[in-house]
Amino acid sequence: MGEDVIEVKGSNEERATVKKGTTVGDVLKALYGKVDSRWIAAKVNGDLYDLSRPIYEAVQVEPVAIDSPEGLDILRHSTSHVMAQAVKELFPEAKVAIGPSIENGFYYDFDVSKPFTPEDLEKIEARMAEIVQEHLPFQRREMSRSEAIEFFRKMGETYKVELLENMEDGMVSLYQQGGFVDLCRGPHIPHTGYIKAFKLTGVAGAYWRGDERNPMLQRIYGTAFSDKKTLKKYLNFLEEAKRRDHRRLGRELDLFQFNEEVGPGMVIYHPKGAIIRQILEAFEKKEHLRRGYQIVIGPTLLKTELWKRSGHFDNYRENMYFTEVEGQSYGIKPMNCIAHMLIYKSKVRSYRDLPIRYFELGTVHRHEKSGVLHGLLRVRQFTQDDAHILCTPEQLQDEIKGVIDFVIDVMGIFGFPYEMEVSTRPEKSIGTDEDWDRATSALINALNDVGIPYEICEGEGAFYGPKIDVKLRDALDRRWQCATIQCDFTLPERFDLTYVGPDGQKHRPVMLHRVILGAMERFLGILIEHYAGAFPTWLAPVQAVVMTVTDNQLNYARKVYQQLVDAEVRVELDDRNEKLGFKIREAQLQKVPYMVIVGDREVEAGSINPRRRDGKQLGMMSVGEFVDLLERECREGSKGRVGLGII
């Protein structure tokens, strides 16, 4: 083989020999014998490369298509560069910060004296469309970091300079399309013409480097897809999500309200919302009792002295509400742990008593910043399905595993997809390294034991210990923390909790805070969006509506209604003087699982005629048969845990 040629491999058996310095694009052509217009970049020995980049060594090359996950990432990243170009052309004084691709799109942050208006966005979008038409190539070049610093300093791009100054690399890469140059690792699409479908979706303030002490930049969000059809599909999904929004469904289904006169972040449950919560709470009590938890109830108001001892006053004061009664300062609980500590302390505990698991549906108040409130998903008063487990260090891992199993079991019943994260020691934290290591590995070992995937979030733990968080997604795919399992080293110590070991000596128990659903409010919000308001029968606030064809069947319908009430079915009677179709439509819009139709034929036969929410008519049956059917359906939907009449 000559010195100026190299052998390259494809992803399967493809082989080719090319000259040194051949571009990635030409290598692909040699390997696969074709040029696919969907190919926008390639993986060279696993690293992403531009098609225009030359190859000098024997490598393995694999194409990246524009509609693959990695391809979409590249496309969106390139689109963010095009947006930045348009912004720089229209607003030359704007300084650019960062512009990555994100889940479902991209953004770019700019420092501008005046925030962008929606009209600005239209202009930017229009200019971007022109740039796309120009088919400007993305050109890569490399320079030393110090050269790059000088380069961007001359341009007045102070944010790029700051980024570069914080980098370690000796060489950095720059990308240019048209007159716009950006510091960037790449790769990019070959030219701007590859952008077939994009849309700017919004503008918002965002702190430089995500730190609220830094200046606020203007962030423009957008998205891009490989073709117009998929973009359309995505925009439709956003429309669909609006219809699933729990705030909208909460009003339409008469579940709850927020009231300006009451105050922000305070939920008022209407009868139909309250009954769902009652079902969830009844379900939770049963599930906890059968797993060896004891139900306890603590007070809402505790003396401020106690919050000082627990550390909340020092670490959590801004989020707490305080009040004064008879010259004594009290704090409203933002967490439920304190009373549980005091219950533990109420007598001498033996190692034989452990583990102790205290469960409380505890209502807490947290003064959340006004801008973060969000329907039921982020409120100021909420009820946690909270528990504190006190155990010996030896029992810790099994206890964690027990909680993980509990979470998996419950999520399985609701059919939620979820993601788990382990958060490790943050900078600002207390406790010894040994404690942290032991607890962190206990969490990780337990997850490995159970065999479910998880992400590690370095430095994201609570100041008092590492934790496992379980995240659920709302209708818009935003992630919300629900279940959490947190180790705590400080509270057992601050409250001097002990147990007597087999050696007759006092020992310090280990403590876990944990919630399964998290907050009832947040969980209900996710629940509403997950089912789009069409709750399964075991959770539906109204399981059936009895409706007559004409007023002639009213007396009979009232009897049927009463029989269903007696069987503990959540049932309503629609005795309005309306046509059947109208009543069905209303029940349908209320997403009631069953409509129980009663006409002359049913009166005659002493039966009822149920119609399911999906339109299926079940035919005539007796009330008893219908009750059995509902009971069965509740049991099936809740994996056997909940039947009729749970409360």
Residues with a catalytic annotation lie at: 337, 366, 384, 386, 388, 467, 513
Give, in degrees to the nearest 5, the angle at Cα 459 between 453 and 461. Answer: 75
**Nearest CB to RNA, comparing residues 34 and 369:** 369
Q: How many CB atoms lie within 10 A of CB 414?
A: 20
- To the nearest whole angstrom, how small is the minimum distance from the Cβ of residue 144 to RNA? 31
**Nearest CB to RNA, comparing residues 169 and 551:** 551
**Nearest CB to RNA, comparing residues 279 and 526:** 526
- To the nearest whole angstrom, how small is the minimum distance from the Cβ of residue 590 to RNA? 10
Q: Residues 6 or more apart from 256 whose CB is under 8 A from it?
A: 250, 267, 268, 269, 270, 273, 376
Interatomic CA distance for residues 393 and 511, integer angstroms? 9
**Nearest CB to RNA, comparing residues 156 and 263:** 263
- To the nearest whole angstrom, how small is the minimum distance from the Cβ of residue 507 to RNA? 28
Interatomic CA distance for residues 507 and 494, integer angstroms? 14
**Nearest CB to RNA, comparing residues 274 and 554:** 554
Interatomic CA distance for residues 110 and 321, integer angstroms? 38
Chain-centroid distance of CA 478 in Å reads 5
- To the nearest whole angstrom, how small is the minimum distance from the Cβ of residue 71 to RNA? 24
3-class SS at 239? helix
- To the nearest whole angstrom, how small is the minimum distance from the Cβ of residue 491 to RNA? 14
What is the DSSP code (8-state) at residue 518?
A: E
Contact 96, 81 (CB under 8 A): no
CA atoms within 13 A on the CB side of 513: 23
- To the nearest whole angstrom, how small is the minimum distance from the Cβ of residue 263 to RNA? 6
Contact 530, 414 (CB under 8 A): yes
**Nearest CB to RNA, comparing residues 219 and 425:** 219
Q: Residues 6 or more apart from 84 whose CB is under 8 A from it?
A: 96, 99, 108, 110, 180, 182
Q: Which residues pair with 312 in a beta bridge?
A: none
- To the nearest whole angstrom, how small is the minimum distance from the Cβ of residue 247 to RNA? 5
Amino acid at 61: V
Contact 69, 55 (CB under 8 A): no
**Nearest CB to RNA, comparing residues 476 and 565:** 476
- To the nearest whole angstrom, how small is the minimum distance from the Cβ of residue 641 to RNA? 22
- To the nearest whole angstrom, how small is the minimum distance from the Cβ of residue 382 to RNA? 4
Contact 482, 470 (CB under 8 A): yes
3-class SS at 472? strand
Interatomic CA distance for residues 250 and 541, integer angstroms? 12
Interatomic CA distance for residues 5 and 515, integer angstroms? 62
Q: Which residues pair with 17 in a beta bridge?
A: 7
Contact 198, 223 (CB under 8 A): yes
Alpha-helical runs (H) found in 495-638 = 520-531, 554-566, 580-589, 600-605, 623-637
Give, in degrees to the nearest 5, the angle at Cα 362 between 359 and 366. Answer: 140
Interatomic CA distance for residues 79 and 127, integer angstroms? 12
User: How would you label 583-600 residue by residue, b for 16+ Cβ within 10 Å and e otherwise?
Assistant: bbebbeebbbbbbbbbbe
Contact 97, 111 (CB under 8 A): yes
Phi and psi dihedrals of 501, rounded to 5?
-85, 175
Q: Residues 6 or more apart from 523 whose CB is under 8 A from it?
A: 280, 482, 517
Contact 470, 407 (CB under 8 A): yes
Contact 219, 108 (CB under 8 A): yes
- To the nearest whole angstrom, how small is the minimum distance from the Cβ of residue 310 to RNA? 15
- To the nearest whole angstrom, how small is the minimum distance from the Cβ of residue 338 to RNA? 16
Contact 58, 83 (CB under 8 A): no
**Nearest CB to RNA, comparing residues 116 and 152:** 116
**Nearest CB to RNA, comparing residues 354 and 592:** 592
Interatomic CA distance for residues 37 and 43, integer angstroms? 16
